[in-house]
Amino acid sequence: MSLLSSFTKKSKLSATIKQTQQARKSEGNAADQLFKSAYAGYAEVLLDDPIRADALYNWGFALLHQAKTKEGAQAEAIYQDAINKFTFCLLINPDYLGSAINGGVAYMDLARLKGVVPDDELYTQAQKHFEAANRIQTGTASYNLACIYALRGDSQACLQAFELSKERGSLPDASDIMQDPDLATVKEADWFLAFIEPLLPKEEPVAVEEAVAVEEAVAVAEEPAAVEEPVAVAEEPAAVEEAVAVAEEPAAVEEVVAEAEEPAAVEEVAAEVEEPAAVEEAAAEVEEPAEEEFAEVREPIAETDVIIVAETDGVADAEETIVAEPGVSYQAHKNRKKK
């Protein structure tokens, strides 16, 4: 708020206070006119104060919801407090849509709580708030007006309000409309049924749905692919032959054995054992040396010094120098050694 605006409002407020003092000293119609003028002055002072208007609206909105959780006189007092906040907000900002709509809702809730007739002043005040809301934004409160018209038995006005609400996109869902207690007196009317029928969700016949479900179940049960597929996997000849080939492949077996037992050593041993020529040659080497060694032993030792390794039971004891005598064999020397 600017400094100039603040100064202007203070001047207006002072003039309005003087008007109120004059009204208190007056009587009859003159007093009423002065009071009415004073109220307009106070409203003008409060006008164009958005922060205060927002605070009043949200305050009233909180009270409205709290009142719904209470009963009896306590709920009535809270509803009235909410109505006062919404009314005060509209004095500051006459175009405050939320206060116009929720002010009317608070009046209707209070009317239901008190159980008054549809022509009661509470419903009239609710109607005024809803009409103010429609002036601010067309159609926003038309459904609420339709409920008041239904309670009062005004079918034509009720249908017109329904159609305007539908046109402006403020009409609730058909299920919510059918459950609204304010519309109980018109739900069986032909004009209402004709209006609500296109809005109701379409339901498929149960018999058709069941038939479709049975056909789908039969199709799933008789589906050949699902049965044949695992059989094909189990009986696939190529897969079986491949597995057998892998299991019986000699190269694979030899390779595994070779890796575990060192192939070089295995092949070398196998070659020595399985080659007949090698076996016979080995046997010849074992059996032939006896005569050669015996002949060599019995040959006279030459008349030279010979280095002889003495043996005891086939184990070399030590290296010893023996001077061989001419004409004496190695066996004779060996016998002398033992003696």
Highest mean pLDDT (candidates 136-140, 215-219, 319-323): 136-140
**pLDDT at 205 (0 to 100):** 57
Position 269 pLDDT exceeds 80: no
- Predicted local confidence at residue 61, as pLDDT: 95
Do residues 45 and 13 lie in contact, with contact meaning Cβ atoms separated by under 8 Å?
yes
CB–CB of 104/130 below 8 Å? yes
- pLDDT at position 213: 60
Higher-pLDDT residue of 165, 258: 165
DSSP symbols for 198-236: GGSPP---HHHHHHHHHHHHHHHHT-HHHHHHHHHHHH-
Q: Which residue has the tokens 């060599």?
A: 296
Q: What sign for the dihedral angle of Cα 30, 35, 41, 43?
A: negative
Question: Which residue would you say has higher pLDDT here, 270 or 183?
Answer: 183
Confidence of residue 13 (pLDDT cuts 50, 70, 90): confident
Place of tokens 């057998």: 244
Tens digits of residue pLDDT in 50-91: 888 999 999 999 999 999 999 999 999 999 999 999 999 998
271-297 core/surface letters (b: 16 or more CB in 10 A; e: else): eeeeeeeeeeeeeeeeeeeeeeeeeee
Quick count: other Cβ atoms within 10 Å of Cβ 196? 16
Neighbours of 239 (CB within 10 A): 12
pLDDT of residue 210: 59
Residue-averaged pLDDT of the chain: 74
pTM here is 0.54
Please give the helix or strand (H or E) that residue 307 lies within, else none. Answer: strand 306-312
The pLDDT tens digits for 90-101 are: 988 999 999 999
pLDDT digits (tens, 9 = 90+) for 168-219: 999 999 999 999 999 999 999 999 999 999 998 877 655 555 555 656 765 6
pLDDT of 251 strictly over 50: no
Q: Which CATH class is domain 3-199?
A: mainly alpha
Among 120-124, 210-214, 278-282, the least confident range: 278-282
Q: Structural domain boundaries of the chain? A: 3-199, 203-235, 293-338
Within 8 A by CB and 6+ apart from 56, the residues are: 85, 86, 88, 89, 92, 99
Q: Which tokens sit at 172?
A: 């609730």
How far out from the chain centre does Cα 221 lie? 33
pLDDT band at residue 46 using 50, 70 and 90 as cut-offs: confident
pLDDT tens profile 217-245: 656 665 554 444 444 444 444 443 554 34
**Distance in angstroms (rounded) separating the CA atoms of residues 26 and 37:** 13
